[in-house]
Chains A and B, each alone.
Chain A
Amino acid sequence: MEHLQLMGAYILRRLLINLLVFALITVAIFMLVHAAPGDPVKMMIPPDQLNSGSAAFIAAKRHELGLDQSVFLQYWHWLDNAVHGNLGYSLVSGRSVTSLLSERIGPTIELMGVGLALSLLIAFPLGIIAAVRRNTAVDYAATVVSLGSVSIPAFFLALLAIYVLTLRFQLLPSAGMSTPGASGLIDLLRHLLLPALILGFGNSGPFMRYIRSSMISELGSDYVRTAEAKGAGPIRVVVRHTLRNALIPVLTIIALSLPGVLAGAVVIEKVFAWPGMGQLAVSSVQQQDYSVIIGFALIIAILVLLSNLVADLLYTVADPRVRLR
């Protein structure tokens, strides 16, 4: 029981630290609100009221929203609103930021999820084989592939893929999430495949390197020799012994990579016109729709917080040595 207590204490501590950092980030985001050109009040009033309101009405609203009060109170008001789901209104479309984000979050999560899965599908076999056949041609080939994944910009790869698969061979669609008129899973998958693949490939490089080095370090361990001395064959040694040990740090890495996957998704969504949060973010930036941009910033901060927490959790749970300390 004692170890459960210790683990709980550790998680609690990490939670508090992460929350503190998150609070600081919200302060930074709030400062961005004020750095934005234009009148913040416009971001917080529904557009119909904005258009029909007189100057006096707007002044009254400003007072009501606390925008003429001290910065601290403003921050508090803003935070309070945000927690209750009120992030203001889009300067471009007039719709509430929260509703815009919530309808976009689904496609982004789909894209990120499938993309992450694909990147692991690429990285694991490559990493394991590269580790087992270290310093051979296969290893060098895998290293080149992983370096390529990191070096070749995702948007360029996307253009190349569109050129080959959409235009030359007409295999896959290159824009949007569904074909007008068509519906159903197959259509969705056809639209998802190319963007998810490019996203996955871009993330596979670092994973592959990490898996490879983790496996190499485990393969050099003494207990591998013991397993061989017991008569275990090479496959059993790799899978049953080293892979399980190598997996532990990799899981944490995967959790920490989530913000990076989001970054990749933003670009991919733009190129493939995938109707997710990323595309919204880019277009809002181009149209200077500040309230949406700030809402997006909050989402990122939350994602970072979550991924750090998950990583901390995984770290304690996965390794029995840490778990039982």
Chain B
Amino acid sequence: MTAVDIAVAPARRSPARLAVRRFVRHRIAVVSVGVLLVVVIGAVFAGPISGHSPTTIDLFHIRASPSEKHWLGTDSTGRDVFSRLLYAGRVSLGVGVAAALIAVVIGTVLGSLAGLLGGWVDQTVMRLADIFLSFPSLVVMIVVAGILGPSVITMVLAIGLFQWPTCGRLVRGVTLSLREQEYVQASRAVGAGPVWLMARHIIPAALPPVSVVATLGVAQAIGLEATLSFLGLGVQPPQPSWGNMLTDAQSLTVIRSMPWLWLPPGLAVAITVLAVNFIGDGLRDAVDPRRS
């Protein structure tokens, strides 16, 4: 902006109200919340909504096109696609949230310790963060899945391990700036230890930016899970995942003539990840005092 001195009166609104106001202004973010809600409801109430089991095989009706009975047709072993679609939502959302949570916990603990203790602790944590950041999570997870065998738990842990540095750096920054604040120094003078400081000061202050990072992390995790499962290295059949539902679609025949097999799960991933990303973007604008 231009370098003009503007004498502006301080805004007489609480930061939270300001943030909500900004978020709502972001219409796409609000719409995305609605979309995400639909996905969540679909996943939670998958059984009642679809009326089919996602794992029942019916070899007499393989790859049937959509009909009254099977709204999205059946897959290569006769399982109902629509119910698999909905149940797969549970996996994706679950993995996404769990991984992001792990990342936030590790990141907050390591980041605040690094900021509070400084010295070699800080250096080590930052080096670790750099290492985890420079490696592409997907390939490393492929390698690990290759050696140790695919498993959902390994996947969630691995995603969390690759996401913590972003959160960690953020929390470290917040901690460093808080350290200089008077009320924190007062706390320390009274004998507050790192855990107390973390709980009472650092976490509340870091919450807004961390929530942005966590949301974007959920989006990234969902995408990673889908890709890994697509490659056959994540969620294993018969448990449905949007990713492994697309593994079938590697043949040209399927792509051309059976779009109901691969379009819905692919769209599901795309829409969910987009929605979560938009929400994260909206949160970022709401929380950041400087607009981008």
**Residues of chain A at the chain B interface (Cβ within 8 Å):** 21, 24-25, 32, 35-36, 147-148, 150-156, 159-160, 162-163, 166-167, 174, 213, 216, 220, 222, 225, 256, 259-260, 262-263, 266-267, 270-271, 281-282, 284-286, 288, 290, 293-294, 296-297, 300, 304, 307-308
Q: Which residues of A contact B130 (CB under 8 A)?
A: 21
Q: Are B143 and A262 within 8 A (Cβ)?
A: no
Min Cβ gap B161→A in Å is 12
B227 sits at the interface (CB 8 A): yes
Given contacts A36-B147, A152-B274, A304-B134, contact A262 B139 (CB under 8 A): yes
Q: Are B139 and A266 within 8 A (Cβ)?
A: yes
Interface-located stretch among B82-90, B198-206, B265-273? B265-273
Q: Are B233 and A285 within 8 A (Cβ)?
A: yes
Chain B 224-264 interface 0/1 with A at a Cβ cutoff of 8 Å (1 = within):
00110011110000000001001001101001100100100
Q: Are B226 and A162 within 8 A (Cβ)?
A: no
Q: Which residues of B contact A260 (CB under 8 A)?
A: 136
Of the candidates B1, B146, B259, the one whose C-beta lies within 8 Å of that of A220 is B1
Q: Which residues of B contact A151 (CB under 8 A)?
A: 219, 223, 270, 273-274, 277
Q: Which residues of A contact B226 (CB under 8 A)?
A: 153
Give the interface centre of A36, A155, A166, A284 by most chain B CB atoms within 10 Å: A155
Given contacts A155-B246, A156-B269, contact A259 B134 (CB under 8 A): yes
B140 sits at the interface (CB 8 A): yes
A-B pairs with beta carbons under 8 A, tally: 122
Q: Are A35 and B249 within 8 A (Cβ)?
A: no
Of the candidates B146, B227, B256, the one whose C-beta lies within 8 Å of that of A267 is B227
Min Cβ gap B278→A in Å is 7
Q: Are B266 and A156 within 8 A (Cβ)?
A: yes
Complex Cα gap A216–B292 (Å): 9
Q: Which residues of A contact B140 (CB under 8 A)?
A: 300
Complex Cα gap A284–B233 (Å): 12
Complex Cα gap A167–B258 (Å): 12
Besides A32-B147, A259-B134, 18 other A-B contacts (C-beta < 8 A): A153-B226, A156-B267, A167-B255, A225-B2, A225-B3, A259-B135, A262-B136, A267-B138, A281-B142, A281-B143, A285-B145, A288-B146, A290-B146, A293-B147, A294-B147, A296-B139, A304-B134, A308-B134
Min Cβ gap B252→A in Å is 7
B148 sits at the interface (CB 8 A): yes
Complex Cα gap A25–B132 (Å): 11
Of the candidates A35, A284, A300, the one whose C-beta lies within 8 Å of that of B139 is A300
Q: Which residues of B contact A270 (CB under 8 A)?
A: 231
Complex Cα gap A167–B143 (Å): 33
Given contacts A148-B274, A300-B136, A300-B140, contact A156 B246 (CB under 8 A): yes
Q: Are A159 and B274 within 8 A (Cβ)?
A: no
Give the interface centre of A159, A220, A266, A296 by most chain B CB atoms within 10 Å: A159
Name which residue of chain B comes closest to A266, CB basis. Answer: B139
Min Cβ gap B29→A in Å is 11
Min Cβ gap A163→B in Å is 5
Name which residue of chain B comes closest to A301, CB basis. Answer: B135
Complex Cα gap A213–B291 (Å): 11
